[in-house]
Chains A and B, each alone.
Chain A
Amino acid sequence: MSNAIYASLTRQDGLLREMQVIANNMANSSTTGFKSNHAIFAEHIAATGDESGSLSMGSLAGHNFDLSQGAMKHTGGQFDLAIHGEGFFVLDTPAGERLTRAGAFQLSADGNLIDAFGHQVQGAGGGAIAIPQEVTRISIAPDGTISSGEEILGQVAVVVADGEINQEGGTMFAAPGGYQQVEEPAVVQGTLEQSNVSSILEVSRLIEVQRAYEAGQSLIEKEDERINQLIKTMRQL
C-alpha cells in the first residue's frame, strides 16, 4: 500500500473513535451531571524508511472532558443537590471513593444519604451522613451544611481533585491523586445539574467527522485508481 493510504487510514481510525465519543455525548444529553468528552488529534510522524524522509499522520492522541457547568434544573427535591462552580461530591463505592456532580440523592433505609446506586455520600471529614427519621424540613446551605431548624445534622463534602481525574461509568470520576476540600463551595438544594452536552456543537462535529471520513475514503479510492492506472501503463510499456 502507498503511504497516502496509510495516512488516510490512521485518520479514519481516529475518526471512527471520535464518532464513538460524539455518540456517547449525544446518548448522555439527558444524564444528570454528565460532562461531555472531546477527542484530540495529534500529528504522528512516521519514518518512511527511505531517502524521502518522513510521513505526517493525524492520529487520535487522547481526549479531554469539558468540565464546564451544565444547566441548572429546578426540581424542588429536598436531596437534589447541584454544585455551582467547581467541586464534586464524594461517594463511597466498593471500588473506593469516587467523585460525582450528579446530586440526585436520597435516603437509605437506615437513614444515610445515598445516590441512585446506593453509594453513600461522604460528609466533610469523611464518613456517611445520617439524617434522623423524625426530621422533616431539611435545608442544605451553600457550604453543604445540612440542618433542620437550629440543629446541624452534618455537612456534605465538596472537593476538587489533585491532579488528573478518570471518567468511569455512573457519572463518576476516579481521582487517583486524591482530593481536597473546596474552600467556599456553592451547593444548591432542590436543583440538579444537567448534562453539559451542547447538541448543536455535537451535531456540527458529527457532520464534520462524517465528511472527513468520506473524504478519506475517496482519497483511498483515488489512490487505488492511480495505482491501477500505473499498473496498466507499466504493462503497455
Chain B
Amino acid sequence: MKALQIAATGMAAQQMRVEVISNNIANMSTAAYRPRTAEFSDLMYQQHLTPGTITSQVGTVVPAGIQLGTGVKPSSVSMEITQGGLRDTGAELDLAVDGTGFFEITLPSGESAYTRDGKLNRSAEGEIVTMDGFPLADGLVIPENARNVAISRDGEVVAYFNDGSEGQAIGNISLVRFINEKGLEAMGDNLFRETEASGPANQLVPGTEGMGLIRQGFLEESSVDVVQEISELIEAQRGYELNSKVITAADEMLAATTRVR
C-alpha cells in the first residue's frame, strides 16, 4: 500500500523540520547566528492516466487524468539573510558587521573561512584572532606596547600608546561578500566556507558599494526569533501527527483486507 510509504516521507520531512527548529532554538544566544529554514517540495507523480489522452475519434480528451503523488522531500535548508541586533559590549576587539559582509579568517590549513562573529582577541604575537585562535586574513599585528586600538567604521585600525604619542595606523580590516550568501557551507564554530553555489568571495572596503560597516565595541546577536520558532515547532508536531494518522488508517484498511479468507 503506497499510502504507508507516502505518509512515512511526510513524517520524515516533519522530523527534519523539528531538527532544524531545535538547532535554531539551541543557537538563540550564538553570536551572529542566522536561523535556517527547511523547505520541501513534492516528489514525482505516477501518471496513471495522462491528461490530454484522446478519448474518442472526434478529439475529446481526458481533462484531468489520474496523477498520483508519491510524497514529499526536503528541497533545501537555507539560511535566512537577516541582521541580528547589535549588543554593546565596549570591548575593543568586539566587532560587529552592520549590513552585508563577512570577516575573512585564515584556518590553520591555509584555507579561508568566513564569519560574522566578531568576538576577536589579541594573540601572544599581537595578531587579531577569533576565539579559536584563527587569525584575520588581513594579517594585522598590534604592536606589543599598544594601549588600545581604535577601529573606524570603514575598517581602519589605529593603535594608541601609553606614552601619549600620536596614534599609529597599522592597517585595515576588510569585509567580503558573496553573490549568494545562502550558498555558503556552514562549518560549525560560526564559520562558513565558500562553495560553487555561493560564488567567489569579493573583498571590499567596509561601507563602499553597499558593503556593511564595522562597529567596534558591539557584537551581533543571534537573529533567531523564538516566538516564530515555537509556532513552527507546533506546526511541525501537528504535521507529524497527521501523517501518523494516515499510517494508522492505511494499516486498518490492510487489516480489513486480510480479514477476508
Point out residues on A near B: beta carbons under 8 Å: 15-17, 19-32, 34, 37, 39-40, 60-64, 75-78, 102, 104, 106-111, 116-117, 133-137, 164, 166-171, 176, 199, 202-203, 206-207, 209-210, 213-214, 217, 220-221, 224
Contacts and interface: CB of A to CB of B under 8 A. Distances in A.
A106 B183 contact: yes
30 contacts: A19-B246, A19-B250, A20-B2, A20-B69, A23-B250, A26-B10, A26-B242, A30-B13, A31-B41, A32-B40, A39-B66, A60-B66, A62-B49, A62-B63, A62-B65, A63-B65, A63-B67, A75-B80, A104-B39, A110-B179, A116-B41, A133-B202, A164-B52, A167-B69, A168-B44, A169-B41, A171-B42, A176-B52, A199-B239, A206-B246
Contacts of A166: 50-52, 65, 67
Interface string B1-45: 111101101100110010000000000000000000101111111
Interface residues of B, number: 73
A168 B210 contact: no
A209 B250 CA distance: 10
Given A109-B179, A210-B253, A20 B68 contact: yes
B10 A23 contact: yes
B6 A24 contact: yes
Contacts of A136: 99-100, 210
Main secondary structure of the interface of A (DSSP, over half): mixed
A22 B242 CA distance: 11
Contact of A27 (B17, B37, B72): B72
B76 interface: yes
Contacts of B250: 19, 23
Given A19-B250, A24-B70, A24-B72, 4 more contacts: A31-B72, A63-B66, A76-B82, A209-B249
B54 to A, nearest CB: 13
A19 B179 contact: no
A205 B134 CA distance: 58
Interface stretch (B102-110, B137-145, B155-163, B193-201): B193-201
Given A108-B179, A217-B257, A19 B197 contact: no
Interface of B: 1-4, 6-7, 9-10, 13-14, 17, 37, 39-45, 48-52, 62-72, 75-76, 78, 80-82, 99-100, 177, 179-180, 182-183, 196-200, 202, 209-210, 235-236, 238-239, 242-243, 245-246, 249-250, 252-253, 256-257, 259-261
A27 B243 CA distance: 6
Contacts of B200: 109
Contacts of A39: 66
Contacts of A116: 39, 41, 75-76, 78
Contacts of B257: 217
A201 to B, nearest CB: 11
Contacts of B51: 164, 166
A219 to B, nearest CB: 11
B69 A78 contact: no
Contacts of A164: 51-52, 63-64
B45 A169 contact: yes
B179 A133 contact: yes
B253 A220 contact: no
Contact of B66 (A17, A117, A133, A209): A17
Contacts of B76: 104, 116
A29 B239 CA distance: 7
B198 A109 contact: yes
Contacts of A102: 39, 41
Contacts of A28: 10, 40, 42, 69, 71-72
Of A77, A116, A168, most buried by chain B (CB within 10 Å of CB) is: A116
Contact of A29 (B10, B177, B261): B10
Contacts of B252: 210, 214
B10 A106 contact: no
Contacts of A135: 210
A117 B75 contact: yes
B9 A27 contact: yes
